[in-house]
Amino acid sequence: MNTATSPLSGGRKLRVGVSIFVRKGEQSLWENGIYQNCIFLVMLLMRSPLIEATYLVAGGGDGGPADATKFLADSPVPLIDMNEAAATLDLMIEMSAQLSREWVVAFRGRGGKIVSMRVGNDYVIDIERMVFDKSHGLLITGAPYHEIWTLPEYEASCAPYFESLFRCPVRLMPHLWSPMVLEREAANLPQDRRFGYRPGRRRWRAGIFEPNICMVKTSYIPLLACEAAHRDNPDMLDHVFAYNTFHLKEHVSFNGFARSLDLVHHGLASFEGRFPFCQVVAGDVDVIVSHQWENAQNYVYYEALYGGYPLIHNSHLIGACGYLYRDFDCEEGGRALQLAYAEHDANLAAYQRTANAFIAQLDPESDANVGSYSRAIAALFEAARE
């Protein structure tokens, strides 16, 4: 495909929008990864030779463009409302805010293209919500999408689910990340805190950052990995901070689990609330211990690697980065943590080179990623002309 050629008849370039959930009141880019993903996607779209103008589109919540002034201060593109989007855009990418069926049908009726970008493990989330009677999330509205875009981490669990559920093609797209938001946050840290791994500590402070709101990312395996390492070497860990667990402290099952750990009996573990990653690791954490199930691409991995922090992980999608253990093997996770403790300081320069080479592949503005998304967009409009 010649990416310099517009897929529209007459040679006009495209106007593309990405939906983002906007509510009244305080809102932060750090609340979840999807808001940052919206920013990274519009950064990429701005570089596509197929696209004339890119917008974020306020939807889903009770807020509008005026409510997002502070929230989207770092956005490189303007924010428009759904009415302006309907009259202006050639392509709408549903991302952070779900579009109503009526809006999609009307937009398609005037020739617009609709893609739904799925960046969460919706299969597991949907099943949990139904089986455990949780509040609903994804609504099956019957909106007629042209394509579903998702990430390589969901190829096994979600791609067939999406294809059957939405009755349209599913396309795997590159995951995007830039240190832009992280660097701005790091620049605002207090003077006594600095983002980035600092070698030389005799005992490490471990941080666990899994959100514990869904089965795909929880603290159980990381805690057991730290426990295994502590049993083998009681002088290695100074403290283990399990973030995003404060709401579980009084849960009978979690409480019993925690009380079974030597880490707890020895006063080395604490169960904390939710805090921005950058602020926490800058002063309190030396090593990140993580676990995922069918969710192998995570921003916290990229942030840890960018800062040179040792990352203990079970992801098959971050190349040779970090210290890998397999699947749910917490004992192997403990050994990976011990290996990092033994080798990380001596190998820090090589670790950072490997991490930086991988992070470069995530760049929203790289030619490879811009080309991948441009080809996918062109295919949408070329299919309509065949």
> Do 249 and 372 lie in a common domain?
no
Distance (Å, rounded) from C-alpha 86 to C-alpha 84? Answer: 5
3 lies in some domain: no
Give the pLDDT score at 3: 46
Give the pLDDT score at 21: 87
1 lies in some domain: no
> Do 130 and 275 lie in a common domain?
no
Per-position pLDDT tens, the chain of length 386 = 444 566 666 678 999 999 998 888 777 766 667 888 999 999 999 999 999 999 999 887 777 777 777 777 778 899 999 999 999 999 999 998 889 999 999 999 999 999 999 999 999 988 998 888 777 666 677 899 999 999 999 999 999 999 999 999 999 999 999 999 899 899 999 999 999 999 999 999 999 999 999 999 999 999 999 999 999 999 999 999 999 999 998 899 999 999 999 999 999 999 999 999 999 999 999 999 999 999 999 999 999 999 999 999 999 999 999 999 999 999 999 999 999 999 999 999 999 999 999 999 999 999 999 999 999 999 999 875 54
Looking at the structure of the chain, the number of domains it has is: 2
Distance (Å, rounded) from C-alpha 45 to C-alpha 381? Answer: 16
Give the pLDDT score at 384: 59
Question: Minimal CA–CA distance to 150: which of 213, 94, 82, 91?
Answer: 94
34 lies in some domain: yes
Q: How far apart are the first and last CA of the chain?
A: 15
4 lies in some domain: no
> Do 277 and 322 lie in a common domain?
yes
Domain that holds residue 235: 185-360
Give the pLDDT score at 1: 41
> Do 344 and 373 lie in a common domain?
no
For residue 97, give the CATH number of its domain.
3.40.50.2000
> Do 342 and 370 lie in a common domain?
no
